[in-house]
Amino acid sequence: MFQVRIHGRGGQGVVTAAEMLSVAAFLEGKHAQAFPSFGSERMGAPVVAFCRIADKEIRLREPIQNPDAVIVQDPTLFKALDVAEGLDPQGYLIVNTAKSFAELHVEAILARIPPRHALTSPATELAMKYVRRPAPNTALLGAFAASVGIVSLDSVLEAIRRAFPGKVGEANVEAAKAAHALVTAKAAA
Amino acid sequence: MNDVQKLKFYQKGTLTVGNRLVDEAERTVQASLARSNSLTSGHRACQGCGEALGARYAIDAAMRATGGDLIAVNATGCLEVFTTPYPETSWQMPWMHSLFGNAAAVATGVAAAMRVTKRETRVVAQGGDGGTTDIGFGCLSGMFERNDDVLYICYDNEGYMNTGVQRSSATPPTARTATTPTLGPEPGNVFGTGKFVPKIAVAHEIPFVATASVADLHDLEAKVTKAMGFRGARYIQINVPCPLGWGAASHDTVKLARLAIETGLFPIFEAEHGRVTDVRKIRRKTPVVEYLKLQRRFAHLFRDGREDPRVARLQALADKRIAEYGLLEAEG
Amino acid sequence: MLEQIEGSKAMARTIGLCRPQVVCAYPITPQTHIVEGLGDLVRLGRLENCEFINVESEFAALSVAIGASAAGARAYTATASQGLLFMAEAVYNAAGLGLPIVMTLGNRAIGAPINIWNDHSDAMALRESGWIQLFAETNQEAADLHIQAFRLAEELSVPTMVCVDGFILTHAVERVDIPDQASVDAYLPPYEPMQILDPEDPISIGAMVGPDAFTEVRYLQYFKQHTALALIEKLAAEFQRRFGRACGGLLRQYETADAELIVVAMGSLNGTIKDVIDEMRADGVSVGLVTLVTFRPFPTRALREALARARNVIVIDKALDVGMGGPLASNVAIAMRGLPQAPAMHSAIVGLGGRPVPKASLHRLFRQATIQPWEGPHFLDLNERVVAREIHRRGKARRAGPAAEAILKQLERERQAKIAERAP
């Protein structure tokens, strides 16, 4: 079972991100479970959502304590809580930022996982460019697909189209593709 | 040469002027042998019960208007209790009692079921003032707001009679009830409280609102009939004296109902979509004292041969209602 | 058809397939998405012959359903927690009148203190009302149970509530097989009322019944619940034949054949417990699980049989009968009475107000039953330090201030201390 925990703030589409990821896994014939950590919803408050992906029925329902991947949609959260709590030593960390990790001062977290498993993605900037809204979730899923490899980019794009029909969906698809391309380019370099 | 005197025949159906003056078409439903008698004899109401009278009048009229295609939903209260003493029922039409405060909502459900099962049967909800103005108020307002196709009839005897005569928000000021006893500095029900639901019904701008009384059978039947001609939410409040609760003689029921009208305390009017369209003029304005003196619930106002100053306030209340609804003929 | 879908929406679609004729509900977290989903289906014309009514309170919602059902329409509503209590009078009324209304209960804690998260206190509060109560383990079962519920309710003329863990199931997105209309139609025929308001054949419904007949009327309700036990199993078997899925029924057993320790639980937590059981068995511990699907009528005999050979039984309650302990535990204890070698029963109160129940805690709990058995309710993951501190604080002054505030402050202090410890 692969467990993903997504951190963000209310209004950034954290819950939708988890759902889209689960749909992407479903499209590949996998079992997937997505759910939010149910807090009082208000714009700007820290929000967590979870997604489990497995090849057989997922029976476990507790919040993800030991994620295999953590996606951080808002880097200001590093100061608010330990977003990487329980992250597996072989786990992935994907952070929405145009800065470098050095500028984020999260060395303690980076030290816990393989260097290749930590990556940044300028998801908000890409979202502004393609979707004209600062919703980084779809771009981050593109980056996730590129680095983690548990779901393909095509599945992610189809999940995005199902969540956002029409032109909005296509714009988000472009953002995801761009984020994906950035990660694969960096990996090749 | 004598002045020409104007004569008004009020009661065409009585022996005073002779029944033969009343056209067949104008005769009441009650006058007909073919009336449905929806609330048939054998029920356990008190002698002289105004509500038993009012309910029979109203439902028979509704049955005539709908060709007998009618379902009634009843709130808990006197009417429900005395008409269905297990294992008997005095209802000769489909009738349901659920709870005290939900008659309006249950009626909404029945009406919805009729629509969805493609039946034309109409729905009447009924309850006393307790079940309507107090505990049932939320559901009533909801039904009004949705404009559900329900006629709600409130039999207003101004208190929770079935449970031993407690005060409701329809109880008039100064009246004695078990929870507004004649003790303390302001004996009986206090001024400055109470609500008049017909006015609130009018404010909901529903298709039809009316008040009626067991003292005027023609008017009551006409209003129920007219109401059944509308679709959507409708409300009729019928003033029904309660001999037991009011401390009145059981033979005075209709007289008291008439006096309530003639003093102005119970205004008879009708309204459509938020505007009053007609009122029943008072024929002979009567001082409230004549009404109060027949009821022991007001006896404390006349102790030791003195008249409590609040009688004047009640008179002022009556005068205010007369002015508000224009219940007197213009002079001249 | 298999879909990756939010639990609420799966339920809305499935309920829509059951052809409800009157749907009325008042919004309350966490059931809102179900009713909204049904409302959408009606507006889009995908659910025909259905009146969707926006009501002004939960009391009105169930009352509208009562009127609709008595007048011959298939009626549905949904609520949770406070809403269920607000309609409590109508809940008993519907059961007493024998109206086959189906209601989804998005299990949620009852205040005060106000809490929007999952536990079973709402279902427990109305367990004596005479409604059939079914608990779903997964969203697939949540959807499927509604189909069975309509059929069950209408065959017996007993209202039925389908209990679905709020948020944990209602707001989770997972795979659900939504059946097709033809299959549902074949399983669930049109509603044929046992009583109906009809001018052609007028009856009076809801008359007063005095001391001379009330006991008999209530006994007949009790008898119907008893009849339901067999019917529930029969309908579940028929469901499996037609839809190919095992769900519903009275209870399910997981690894209980030789189990010395058996856990009894209801709802979504069963999934997590199964994972724990697999892990413990891999470690050589003899443990199994009974998942109770039907809570009312309580399947006393089936449960007795399932638990008869265990040495220890742990009952997991997601609710608290405040003056007594675990309500499910009380019922299970009764079921085990008179067994020749009755298992020792241990009661655990878990997940109140939506507190997550992690696997690690369950591991500890299950092991404890055999190492250090307890009898009275054990509150899983109780912060004993905070509680002790609060009890002490309250003993010092009469007007000690709100307990919740003091507890939260103390928890925050502990959290900050933990962060400080970890800082370089």
Question: How many contacts does A have with C, using Cβ atoms within 8 A?
Answer: 65
Q: What is the pLDDT of residue B4?
A: 73
Tell me the per-residue pLDDT of B25-63, one tens digit each, with 9 for 90 and over.
888 999 888 999 999 999 999 999 999 999 999 999 999
CB C195 within 8 A of CB C205: yes
Q: Rounded distance, CA A28 to CA B114, Å?
A: 48
3-state secondary structure chain C: CEEEEEHHHHHHHHHHHCCCCEEEECCCCCCHHHHHHHHHHHHCCCCCCCEEEECCCHHHHHHHHHHHHHCCCCEEEEECHHHHHHCHHHHHHHHHHCCCCEEEEEECCCCCCCCCCCCCHHHHHCCCCCCEEEECCCHHHHHHHHHHHHHHHHHHCCCEEEEEECCCCCCCEEEEECCCHHHHHHHCCCCCCCCCCCCCCCCEECCECCCCCHHHHHHHHHHHHHHHHHHHHHHHHHHHHHHCCCCCCCEEEECCCCCCEEEEECCCHHHHHHHHHHHHHHCCCCEEEEEECEEECCCHHHHHHHHCCCCEEEEEECCCECCCECHHHHHHHHHHCCCCCCCEEEEEECCHHHCCCCHHHHHHHHHHHHHCCCCCCEECCCCHHHHHHHHHHHHHCCCCCCHHHHHHHHHHHHHHHHHHHHCC
- C346 and C315 in contact (C-beta within 8 Å)? yes
Domain count, chain C: 3
Answer whether C203 sits within 8 Å of B105, measured CB to CB: no
Is the ipTM, as predicted for this complex, more than 0.90?
yes
Choose the closest CB to C90 out of B81, B99, B117. Answer: B99
Residue in chain B nearest C70 by alpha carbon: B110
3-state secondary structure of A117: helix
| pLDDT value for B8 | 63
User: For residue C339, what are the CA distances in angstroms to C253, C310, C331, C344?
Assistant: 19, 11, 15, 11
Closest chain B residue by Cα to residue C76: B109
Q: Given this model, what pLDDT does residue B332 score?
A: 44
Under a CB-based contact definition with an 8 Å cutoff, are residues B106 and C67 in contact?
yes
Structure tokens at B102: 């939900």
pLDDT number for residue A131:
95
Residue C271 has its nearest CB partner, among A22, A38, A60, at A60
Say if the Cβ atoms of C173 and A18 lie within 8 Å.
Answer: yes
| Cα angle, residue B173 at apex, residues B168 and B177 outer, rounded to 5° | 50
The answer to whether the CB of B187 falls within 8 A of the CB of B211 is: no
Final residue of a structural domain among C183, C209, C243: C243
Instruction: Determine contact: A26 vs chain C, CB below 8 A.
Output: yes
Residue C21 forms contact with B (CB below 8 Å): yes
Nearest in space to B233 (alpha carbons), one of B136, B150, B115, B120: B150
H-run or E-run covering A101: helix A101-104
Do the two chains C and A touch, given a threshold of 8 Å on CB pairs and at least 3 pairs?
yes
C168 contact A CB<8A: yes
In a domain, residue B7? The reply is no
Chain A positions in Cβ-Cβ contact with residue C174 (cut-off 8 Å): 22, 31-34, 58
At residue C166, the pLDDT reads: 96
Tell me the shortest Cα–Cα distance from A50 to chain C, in angstroms. 10
On the question of pLDDT at C63 being above 50, the answer is: yes
* Average pLDDT taken over every residue of chain C: 95
Q: Is the distance from CB of B254 to CB of B214 less than 8 angstroms?
A: yes
pLDDT of residue C398: 87
Same structural domain, C7 and C148: yes
| C197, C68 contact by CB (below 8 A) | no
Give the predicted TM-score (pTM) of the model.
0.93
Burial category of B38 from C-beta neighbours within 10 Å (exposed 0-12, middle 13-18, buried 19 and up): buried
Interface contact flag, A62 C356, Cβ < 8 Å: yes
Q: Please give the pLDDT value at position A153.
A: 97
Residue B232 — φ and ψ, nearest 5°? 105, -170
Give the end of a domain, one of C243, C259, C275: C243
Query: Could you tell me if C49 and C152 lie in one domain?
Result: yes
Residue B80 CA to residue B100 CA, distance in Å, equals: 10
Contact: B109, C75; criterion CB under 8 Å: yes
* pLDDT given at position B25: 80
For residue A39, the model assigns a pLDDT of 63
Rounded to an integer, the average pLDDT of C380-407 is 90
- CATH code of B193's domain: 3.40.50.970
Question: What's the CA gap between C353 and C32, in Å, rounded?
Answer: 19
In angstroms, the separation between the Cα of residue C92 and the nearest Cα of chain B is: 10
Cβ-count burial B280-307 (b if 16+ within 10 Å, e if not): bebeeebebbebbebbebbebbeeeeee
Give the minimum alpha-carbon distance from B276 to chain C in angstroms, rounded to a whole number.
27
* Rounded Cα distance, C181 and C18, in Å: 8
Cis peptide preceding C199, ω within 30 of 0: no
Which CATH number do you get for residue A133? 3.40.920.10
- Give the structural domain span for B147: 19-325
Residue of chain C with shortest Cα separation from B63: C199
| Mean pLDDT, rounded, for C3-22 | 98
Q: Which residue in C has a C-alpha nearest to residue A61's C-alpha?
A: C272
Q: Which of B11, B4, B34 is nearest to B258 (CA)?
A: B11
Structurally, how many domains does chain A consist of?
1
Chain-centroid distance, C-alpha B159? 13
Q: Look at C63 and B98 and tell me if their CB atoms are within 8 Å.
A: yes
Instruction: Give me the domain span that covers residue C318.
Output: 251-379
**Beta carbons of A63 and C356 less than 8 Å apart:** yes
- Partners of chain A (3+ Cβ pairs below 8 A): C
Residue C398 one-letter amino acid: R
CB contacts, 8 Å: A62 with chain C = 272, 356-359
CB C357 to CB A26 under 8 A? no
Total number of domains constituting chain B: 1
The CATH code of the domain that includes C270 is: 3.40.50.920
Under the banding of pLDDT at 50, 70 and 90, the label for residue C418 is: confident
- CB nearest to C358's CB, from A26, A62, A108: A62
Cα nearest neighbour of B66 on chain C = C199
Compute the nearest-CA separation of A21 from chain C (Å). Answer: 10
Question: CA–CA separation, B152 vs B236, rounded Å?
Answer: 6
Among C187, C212, C243, where does a domain finish?
A: C243
Q: CB distance from C217 to chain B under 8 Å?
A: no
User: Residues in chain B with pLDDT < 50?
Assistant: 16-18, 332
Residues of chain A falling short of pLDDT 70: 39-42
Question: C375 and C402 share a domain?
Answer: no
